[in-house]
Amino acid sequence: MNDPNGMVFFAGEYHLFYQYNPFGDKWGHMSWGHAVSRDLVHWEHLPLALAGGDGVMIFSGSAVVDWKNTSGFGKVGQPPLVAIYTGHYTTKPLQNQNIAYSTDRGRTWTKFSGNPVLDIGDRDFRDPKVFWHAPTQRWVMVVAWPVQRKVRFYASSDLKQWTHLSDFGPAGSTKGVWECPDLFPLEVEGKRDMSKWALIVNVGSGAPAGGSGCQYFVGDFDGTGFLLDQSSQPKVAPELVPDGNIDHIILADAPARSATEPALWADYGRDFYAAVSWSDIPKRDGRRLWIGWMSNWEYAQDVPTSPWRSAMSLPRELALRASPGGLRLVQRPVRELQKLRARHHRLRNATVNEANTWLEKRDSLGELLEVVIEFGSAAKAGNFGLRVSTGESEQTRVGCDLAANGRLFLDRTYSGRVDFHPRFTGVQEAPLSAHDGRLKLHVFLDTSSIEAFANDGEPVLTGLLFPSSGNRKLALFSSSDALEVKALEVWELKPSWR
């Protein structure tokens, strides 16, 4: 599996469709797999939703509830679910946009007989994200024009006929092809009367840690075009490690222009891509929720798991936060994940040595853990953080170094199995600063992944890990005695699949 697709909330269920090969554990025969959840934590697999065939693979896209039955696929009081997806032709160089509909809560789907609904005759034109724009009372589609490093905006009154509105790009990171766009408004934290639009553009290569990644832009959308908020543009490019080419079979890449323009990144880890948000979250909830594919196109086909390959990140809630550099995207793990919390360990106001003595007595922690650490005197502490050990020689470090420019880092050099691809190992970094001398780390450890949120979600690092099985041992590290451990909490987590 790879990209998440068609995320929509309807009749009490969160739908997650995803790029899926029903016939193997490598890319090919792309179709839409399907799972549903009532709480974003426990998921139920459902039969294949949209199957590729007749020389057309089912590529990425979105889904909406057609509440007003503008498409005519539903009935009075029974709005249809409508999926908008890219058809990828295997016998000719062509991609176009298609729709399918469901009138039974997404359990079965019918492809529209008038497909395609949008075709510009291009070989690379994909990943439509559609939403209802209330001010103009019409549907808006944002779709990637990958090789041109642009996204295109279209409008429709019925989801069947589409009119071109405008284009955005190239901008930000342009080394890799542009894919899987999204566009949505977000409130600014602490300012209920202020909101901006976030334009998400995932890139096939050129991300800070190398390979594929998720960039974003902050601005305004008037129903026709997207205008950048210049005050939120980064002044210095944070692209820390330029990378080489990728070998994903369908990323038809071609030179566009220099990738030196600054970019904003949703996640600085190696393994967060194709992130898109859920449609139709109820107003009484009010959150903007999204999820990403947890892998990287540089090594996605070589990940050493069996019989499955690939997974999604944890679901996250999004907001914008004011910073000295402008508005920045912040992400927090959804509150529903607290359902998985089991045995709880807590320590307050300790030194690093005292915290490690306390952790040594908890050497039977399982593989599934949630860790929250609040550090004091962080600005003076140099290099510090959390070390996760499995066995004598395996360790993963997630830490901070505020002495220089400030960074959050994830070091998986010795994390376990790293030899399956030359670009898997190494250290990933994100910009970071302390808040009033304090710094908070929130870390989720799964059997084969780590997701680290600093300072309540700005920034985030997501990475795959392949350690030996068995209990995890936790310890803190610090290059300074000045570091204070204000709070340390560890939850052992229950598996979400039981």
Active site residues: 3
Provide the phi-psi class of 285: left if phi over 0, else alpha when psi is between -120 and 50, else beta. alpha
- How far is 429 from 385, CA to CA, in rounded Å? 13
> ∠ CA(233), CA(236), CA(240), 5° rounding?
120
Strand order in the sheet with 81-89: 56-65, 81-89, 95-102, 110-111
Question: Using omega within 30 degrees of 0 as the cis cutoff, is the peptide bond preceding 208 cis?
Answer: no
- Across the beta sheet with 150-156, what order do the strands follow? 126-133, 138-145, 150-156, 163-168
Using CA atoms, how far apart are residues 475 and 363, in angstroms rounded to an integer? 10
Tell me which long-range contacts 411-420 makes (C-beta under 8 A, separation of at least 24): 412/450, 412/463, 412/465, 415/465, 415/466, 415/467, 416/390, 416/465, 416/466, 416/467, 416/468, 417/304, 417/466, 417/467, 418/466, 420/299, 420/302, 420/303, 420/304
